[in-house]
Amino acid sequence: MPVPDEPTPPGGTPRAGSRAAARERTHAGLLDAAAAVFAEKGYGAASVGEIARTAGVSVGSIYAHFAGKQDLFLALMDRRRVAEMDDARRHLADGLPSALHDLDHRVTATADDGRAALLAAEAWLYAMRDPDFGADLAAHQDRLRADLLPLIRAERARRGAAWSLTDEEVATVALGLFSGLVQHRRLARDSVPADLYGRALLALLDGLATRD
């Protein structure tokens, strides 16, 4: 999702102008630069040197903030996760009908955003090679799924019929279709119209009622 990638001041925002605030600024600037470089080059090909240059600091300064390239990447992913959760909770709060229209916009925004889809793919690949990070990412997906569940439950109650998928499975399909359509749209924009996600989800919901 097109996450604004906002900084996360740990334990309260330090007063502007203070030494702690300056440190926070470089810290956040490094994460911004990391997002740009990791997205452009990929994790493997990205170099800490270029990240430092992009952030406008020296190589050595990076190691005063992070243990190394890996730690920097993990910190970046952490920041994106909390931003994505905030974003999701804000947009899902109003119930499913309003959310459906919103989700369409999130598909296109995520696909058309320069870095979001790229970094998500980098994160998934990193997770495939680092079991610990994989567990973190899976837990994050679980939380997203959990946030989706109340809306699905309410919709099922509203329609008052038995479904051929469990609520959790519906949430999984919704999440899977989301990332799948984002990647397809990114590859060939014309093949994924802006409202396809919403229409597909509606058809799915209509078809879930078991037929006898």
Partner DNA sequence: GTCTATATATTGATAGAC
Partner DNA sequence: GTCTATCAATATATAGAC
Task: Candidates 18-26, 85-93, 133-141, 153-161: pick the segment binding a copy of itself (CB under 8 A).
Answer: 133-141
Within positions 101 to 120, which residues make up the interface with a copy of itself, using CB under 8 A? 117-118
Cα pseudo-dihedral 110, 90, 205, 139, rounded to 10:
70
Tell me: does residue 1 bind a copy of itself (CB under 8 A).
no
Tell me: does residue 54 bind a copy of itself (CB under 8 A).
no
Instruction: Name the β-bridge partners of 163.
Output: 209
- Say how far apart CA 48 and CA 69 lie, in whole Å: 6
Q: Among 168, 120, 112, 111, which Cα is nearest to 144's?
A: 168
Tell me: does residue 164 bind a copy of itself (CB under 8 A).
yes
Helical residues (DSSP H) of 93-195, grouped into ranges: 96-112, 116-129, 131-159, 167-187
Structure tokens at 140: 């994050």
**Contact by Cβ (8 Å): 55, 26:** yes
Which of 61/179 has CB closer to DNA? 61
What is the widest separation between alpha-carbon atoms in the chain?
69
**Contact by Cβ (8 Å): 200, 174:** no
Which of 27/107 has CB closer to a copy of itself? 107
For residue 129, the partner it binds in DNA, a copy of itself, none, with Cβ less than 5 to 8 A by kind, is a copy of itself
Structure tokens at 126: 């990193």
**Shortest reach from residue 133's CB to a copy of itself, in Å:** 11
Tell me: does residue 191 bind a copy of itself (CB under 8 A).
yes
Tell me: does residue 132 bind a copy of itself (CB under 8 A).
no
Within positions 60 to 89, which residues make up the interface with a copy of itself, using CB under 8 A? none
Among 22, 67, 125, 149, binds a copy of itself (CB under 8 A): 125
Structure tokens at 143: 């939380």
- Say how far apart CA 141 and CA 76 lie, in whole Å: 17
Cα 60 from chain centre: 30
Site residue total, a copy of itself (CB under 8 A): 54
Contact residues toward DNA (CB under 7 A) are: 19, 22-23, 26, 46-50, 56-61, 63-65, 68-70
By the criterion CB under 8 A, which residues form the site for a copy of itself? 40-46, 117-118, 121-122, 124-125, 127-129, 134, 137-138, 141-142, 145, 164-165, 168-169, 172-173, 175-181, 183-184, 186-188, 191-193, 196, 199-200, 202-208, 211
